[in-house]
Each structure stands twice: as structure tokens, then as C-alpha cells.
Amino acid sequence: MKNSRKISVIVPAYNEEKKIVGVINSLFNSNSFDQIICVNDGSTDNTLQLLKKFKKITLINLKKNHGKGYAIGKGIEKAHGEIIVFIDADKSGFNNKLIQQLIQPLLNKKYDGVIGYLTHIEADKLFRPLSGERAYWKKDLLPHLKEIKTKGYGLELFLNYLYRNKKIKLFPLKGIKHALKYEKQSYETVAKLFLAESFDILSEIIKQKNPFSYIVKSYIYSFYLKKPGKNNNQLNRLTNYIKKNLINKL
């Protein structure tokens, strides 16, 4: 069932030939989106050929791999929707219920953003802040489009920090599975991707004026400490307390 506001979904993909068809089909089956945008980020496998078989998607083909932030940024430029949803191309198990959970809090005008986090394996608990399944208002993203394109795999941290004082809805993506990199790509490619992702994330943290405050506000606080429905003006005090009592004593 279609929603009252236009919604675009962006799927960035790099060498996702094993999962991309299932992801796109699940988005079509949900009937929730007015526009499905797929960004082939310089894939060297059959991802592009598979995407070309879908006639009703907006396909952006980047001949070289530019990284996630750039791919998402190019997708935002082509988006017609008032609401923009991000879905990673390596997931399976999406259904209309989960998609509506990403969208509905914005349609109800109660939140500024929505993040669905994985619960597939135990390690997922550590990576909630890096989840790629998100929804935001396009008008809130557009002023930061230039920055978004430069963030690479540090995109999620940047968005977390950008929205640190806004209302964000978090919920578990129950039933969603994600393929581990070594299950879908060569070990050489996995090693390169791991290094690229790690470099982007560390670079995003290190270049901040106050890296410790940045990591607290973009990774730790909102995802593990913040209490829903309560005034959270204690954040700065918490950051200063930890810095004073732990960091300065190291």
C-alpha cells in the first residue's frame, strides 16, 4: 500500500551479485516506494548486468568504485521522494513489515530519522551505530550533500553525529540476515574492503577537533546509553566526566 508522501529508496552496491536481486525484489514486493534507486559503485562482478534487468529502477552506474558515501550522495541527487530510505545490498529477509517500520515514524512526524539495526549474530550488537538501513527527510540531507559524498564508509558515523540532537527511532531488524564478506567475495577483495572501511571510519574520527567527544556522540551515547523519551541534555556532562576521570588519568 502506497504512503501519502513520496518515498525513494537508495541501494548502493559494490560486487553484490549474490544478493542484489533478492534485495530489489523485496523492495518491489513491498509496494512502499515511489522510486527505487540502485547505485552500482564500480562493481567488477555481474552486479551491473543483474541491475540492468530491472526496467523500473533508477540505475546509476559509476565506472569506478568511489565508496559508500559518494554512491549514496549520487542517489540523493536523483531522488524524487520527500523521504529517503537507505538499504544495503547484502541483506536478505526484508519484508513489508520491516520496511514500514523504517518509514512510519517519519510519516507520523514523530522522528527526524529511523535506524534499523541487525540482530543476526552476536557481534551485531557492537555495530548498531554502523547500520546502513536508515530513513531520513530529504530536506534535512540536502544541505550536507557535499560532505556526504566525501565520507566513504565513515558515512554512518557522520550521520549519527549530524543527528545527535534530533529524534532518532531505533529498532531491531528481526529476521534480517547479512552475508559476511568472505562468503560473497574473494579473500583478496575482502582484505581490501576491510582496510578501506577501517581507514574511512578511523579518518572520520581522527580528523575531528575532539575525536573522543565525536566517538561518544556518534557511536556510544545514542545507541547504548541514551534513554528514549527522556531529556538527554546530560550528554555533554557525561562526555566531560569520562574524559576527566578516565582519559586524563591514562
Confidence of residue 29 (pLDDT cuts 50, 70, 90): very high
Q: Which residue has the higher pLDDT, 236 or 193?
A: 193
Q: Is the pLDDT of residue 240 over 90?
A: no
Lowest mean pLDDT among 118-122, 134-138, 177-181: 177-181
Per-residue pLDDT of 97-110, as tens digits, reads: 999 999 999 999 99
Average pLDDT score over residue span 152-168: 95
Interior/surface letters 27-52, b for 16+ CB within 10 angstroms, e for the rest: beebebbbbbbbbbbbbebebbebbe
Give the least confident one: 8-22, 34-48, 55-69, 176-190: 176-190
Stretch 46-64: mean pLDDT: 96
Which of 2-6, 35-39, 72-76 has the least mean pLDDT?
2-6
Q: Contact, 118 vs 178, CB < 8 A?
A: yes
- What was the pLDDT predicted at 192? 78
- Contact call for residues 66 and 59 (beta carbons, < 8 A): no
Residue 92 has pLDDT above 90, yes or no: no
Cα 197 from Cα 123, distance rounded (Å): 17
pTM for the whole thing? 0.86
Residue type, 108: N
CB count within 10 Å of CB 121 equals 11
Give pLDDT, residue 250.
44
The span from the CA of 186 to the CA of 21, in Å, is 20
pLDDT band, residue 148 (cuts 50/70/90): very high
Cα 69 off chain centre by: 9
In percent, the amount of the chain with pLDDT more than 70 equals 85
Q: What pLDDT band is residue 222 in, cutting at 50, 70 and 90?
A: confident
Closest CA to 95 of 106, 87, 105: 87
Q: What domains lie within the chain, and their CATH numbers?
A: 7-180 (3.90.550.10)
d(CA 141, CA 144): 6
CA 183/CA 139 separation, integer angstroms: 37
Backbone angles phi, psi at 40, to 5 degrees: -80, 110
* Span 172-218, pLDDT tens digits: 999 888 766 545 566 677 677 778 888 889 999 999 999 999 999 99
Q: Which residue has the cell 543483474?
A: 50
Res 230: pLDDT: 53
